[in-house]
Amino acid sequence: MFWDNYNETMDRASLEKLQVALLKKAVEQACKSPYYREMFLKEHIAAEQITGLDDLRRIPPVTKDILREHYPYGFLAVPREKIVRLHSSSGTTGRPTVIFHTIDDIREWAGLVARCMYMAGVRSDDVFQNMMGYGLFTGGLGFHYGAERLGALVIPSGPGNTQRQIMLMREFDTTVIHIIPSYALHFVKSFNEMGLDPRKDLHVRIAFLGAEPHSEETRHRIEEAFGIDAFNSYGLSEMNGPGVAFECTEKNGMHVWEDSYILEVIDPVTQEPVREGDEGELVFTALKREGMPILRYRTKDLAAVLTEPCPCGRTHRRITRIKGRTDDMLIVKGVNMYPVQIEKSLMSIPEVGSNFLIVLDTKQYNDHMTVQVEVSDSVFKGDLRELEGLKKRIIEGLRSEILITPAVDLVEPNSLPKSEGKAVRVIDNRKQWG
Ligand code: AMP
Ligand code: ZN
């Protein structure tokens, strides 16, 4: 089988040797693109000078802005006719960037996704319902090709239309789903509304959760509601999409496929590497991309490397959950925080429903933070004193997590805006001074 070609337990020295050999090739390929040709000339970089992983640091990193400056074809390393597909990032922060793939790139990527799914226990007799957005976003087609490569039966349902999703799951005995975590929480409610219990009325055993930061608490909720195992899946369009890092059955950190990507973790300010195990910005080098080589891409995603070897025996290093992107950081009353911290605190309280929204305003020259929290139906319609007690508990939980005391509004289930794609967690109405 094709995944037998991957060596996931190779000793670190051999893995690093392989990375150096692949890096040399990647630099050679990159040289064929206008951007790298010019940059390598300027920086006096040549493939034959690469003898160790340290040489990577001589190559200036790529940011989203650099990709935009060289839009559309500045990074293309093959003639345009060899390109078979383009994808684009979600564009949550400014204009989207476009990534081009050759047929070999698509094959390579599909192989990586298949490898992730296989690691989590998916086999060719599984029925895979892909509830991610198809189109420019990489989550849908990335998993679609991966699952087909594995030989599973793919139901390309895309997101939304929950009733049809449930019908498909029941008609075709879906065993594996791929879903955005915030959407999965809403999805559970639809079962209840239809008088169904996902634990009893479905055959699903595995879910892949990706595309947005989410906490361990959210994973637990989804696992509990469906009676399944949920795995964290990380990727970004600049590095193909899903298939960059993925959880094994230990469900403790995501293995980065280091025979396809070189991972660095840097201090986002100094750009120096952090100590192994410290949190920093993830930087990836795609080792096998033909159409659009990207070396040292600054993801803005914050995470840390887990220093302990994984009990599963794989030697490819693991990273923690993604805390957020550097530009998702909120500064409220001078305190730094990430939306996922609020999610984590809320989702640990069982009476809290499936959605929340952080609203920031300016009141009397000061930051004011309100967290609107959907509560479960029974609680909302229940005793007022209970509601007050719940509100207090929520505020206390948030205070210990984010170190400031926000206002909390408890709201009716289904009343906050929902998204079928990545959730929008923050509305910032604050006045910008100066
Ligand atoms: P895109 O380029 O549109 O595919 O979005 C990629 C971005 O989504 C990443 O850079 C992360 O910020 C975010 N992302 C993807 N997967 C995860 C995940 N499992 N956990 C947290 N954030 C994720
Ligand atoms: Zn493992």
d(CA 412, CA 323): 28
What percent of the residues of the chain are helix, what percent strand, and what percent coil, each to the nearest 5? 35, 25, 40
Residue 226, both tokens: 């469906």
pLDDT of residue 266: 98
In the predicted model, is pLDDT for residue 344 greater than 80?
Answer: yes
Digit-coded pLDDT (tens) for 117-132: 999 999 999 999 999 9
Q: How far apart are the CA of 207 and the centre of ligand 2, in A?
A: 17
Instruction: Over range 359-374, report the average pLDDT.
Output: 96
Q: Ligand 1 pocket test: pick from 244, 246, 301 the residue with the most ligand atoms within 8 Å of its Cβ.
A: 301
Ligand 2 centroid distance, CA of 21 (Å): 25
Around ligand 1, the residues with Cβ closer than 6 Å are 89-90, 137-138, 210-213, 232-237, 241, 299, 301, 322, 325
Q: What is the pLDDT of residues 382-402, one digit of tens each?
A: 899 999 999 999 999 999 999
Please name the residue whose Cα sits nearest to atom 9 of ligand 1: 236
The CA 302 to ligand 1 mean position distance, Å, reads 11
Q: Which atom of ligand 1 is nearest to the CA of 422?
A: 8
What's the confidence (pLDDT) of residue 3?
72
Q: What angle do CA 252, 258, 260 make, to 5 degrees?
A: 125
- Quote the pLDDT of residue 433: 63
pLDDT per residue over 53-95, tens digit each? 999 999 999 999 999 999 999 999 999 999 999 999 876 556 7
Query: Does the pLDDT value for residue 5 go beyond 90?
Result: no
Rounded CA-CA distance 365/384 in Å is 33
- Closest ligand to 91 CA? 1
Average of per-residue pLDDT values in the chain: 96
Q: Is residue 95 classed as helix, strand or coil in its secondary structure?
A: coil
pLDDT classification of 420: cutoffs 50, 70, 90: confident
- Considering every ligand atom shown, identify the ligand nearest to the alpha carbon of residue 255 and give its number: 2
> pLDDT tens digits for 89-112?
876 556 779 999 999 999 999 999
Residue nearest to atom 6 of ligand 1 (CA): 236
**Ligand 2 center to 16 CA (angstroms):** 18
7 Cα to the center of ligand 2, angstroms: 13
Structure-block tokens of residue 325:
């992107």
